[in-house]
Amino acid sequence: MLSLRRYCTLVLFLPLLFFADHCTVTILQTADTHAEMERWLRLATLIRREYHPKQTLLVDCGDAVQGSLMATITQGTAAMRPLQVLPYNVWVPDNHELDYGYSAYIGFCNSVGDKLLCANFQLPGQARPPAWKLFNVNGARLAVIGMQASFFRNWLVGKTASQFRCEKAHEAVQRLLPDICAQKPDAIILAIHQGWMESHDKRGVNEVREIAAEFPEIDLILGAHTHRLFPGQKVGLKSWYVQPGAHAQYLTVVKMTVDTEAHSVVDIQSSLKAVTPDLPEDEELAKELAPFFQQLKEFNEKPLGIVLEKEITANGRPGVSCQTSDLIAQAIAEAVGADAAFHSRLTDVPLPAGEIRQLHLFELIPYENKIVSALFTSEQLERLMEEQWALRNNPYRYSGPWNMLFRNKGGKMTLVSINGEPPLPDRRYRIAFNSHTAAGSGNLPLLKQLIEAPEAQLSVTRINTRRATELFLRAHQNAIQFKQWVY
């Protein structure tokens, strides 16, 4: 018979024996930080508080280098510093990492070394990046796949859109999983610059829903791109999905318990931790970023020679009553010598009366779009205007006309005049767009079809729309005319 002491010892030891093959790991995730550098200083503090060496996996899911004036003046270099200074294990670049060109993108990828994971995207001249990697974290073997958005061709235009290789994320997962599963990892994590959608994404931008439904081998999906907040929820057959919103406002914290003998996940718990104003700034990152903050201060304080007598408003509908979209359209048309232009209202921020600084221009045009132009007949312009008008209630997608007067009858457009004269049916007119609109984004199939036709003589310039607007304001300042172009 067992003595009471030996019996109690055995009872106490049995749970330890039962859980001997279980271990818990922490996965921290950032995504869509968009170069919010001041907030990054506090986010870095939060990361260090949650990070425990050998027990933590730290992942970023892309769109890191664009979104602030500091990023613009440093061509994304400053925004890469947190990924280099903090103990990141994985970086998955995505569409905004291409905003400063291919060479800059490759430079970003090279700057993070072996942290880079790119399963379904490759540039010409770039060695094929690693698609996935096996990490040993606190005794658990974690397989991490890095996956990009598969929608690149609808965000880029001209030769730029045809020079890279991009595989659908769903197809890439299907291709990779047999090799990954053969390694018998304890958990499989998909770090992807795509988001969960409650219903099927008709444009095909976000494939997470389909991936989760078909591949129960994936235990955890770290999402991005849609800027939504998901503290954690089950999706598909088995996967757990999290997403930290955008602009460095939250940090994803996942606690995963795995059975290293059965190579399976026992439990997942997750939350989003807010980056609050009371968090102190991380001293190491602050020191790294100090020269960039000084550069930003000097750049923004430099006079532009632009003083506006009246505010240029940002409300209203482009082509009808929005002054800022009219301003940008005039600027890009003048920059490339176009007859007319289409442009959207990029933000709700006006240009104030008084002295204009670089920050004002950035808030007006926060994207690194270039100017694109192409030739169209008057009949084609009417059809293009009808395609745009169908999107008129979506201020992010709809572009209004400038220097083209349209008569609207129930959505059917008639081009009354262009450049103040009746249109000539046998003439082609050069029309300017920003590069994002010209690419179509999956919303403008007619524009994409017409602009890629040989007779359109597509011209993709390297002229930045913000810079073109700055030069236009310097030249014209208080003589700018605003008109209604759709009646």
Query: What confidence score (pLDDT) does residue 455 get?
Result: 97
pLDDT at 17: 41
342 in helix, strand or coil? strand
The four Cα atoms 206, 212, 215, 216 give a dihedral, to 10 degrees, of: 160
Q: What pLDDT is attached to residue 302?
A: 92
Whether the CB-CB separation of 242 and 29 falls below 8 Å is answered with yes
Please give the pLDDT value at position 318. Answer: 97
3-state secondary structure 382-416: HHHHHHHHCCCCCCCCCCEEECEEEEEECCEEEEE
pLDDT of residue 19: 54
For the chain, list the domains and their CATH numbers: 21-295 (3.60.21.10), 303-479 (3.90.780.10)
Residues of the chain under the 50 pLDDT cut: 1-18
249-272 pLDDT, tens digit each = 999 999 999 999 999 999 999 999
The secondary element (H helix, E strand) that includes residue 418 is strand 412-418
> What is the structure's pLDDT at 227?
97
User: What is the 8-class DSSP label of residue 75?
Assistant: T
- DSSP annotation of 116 reads B
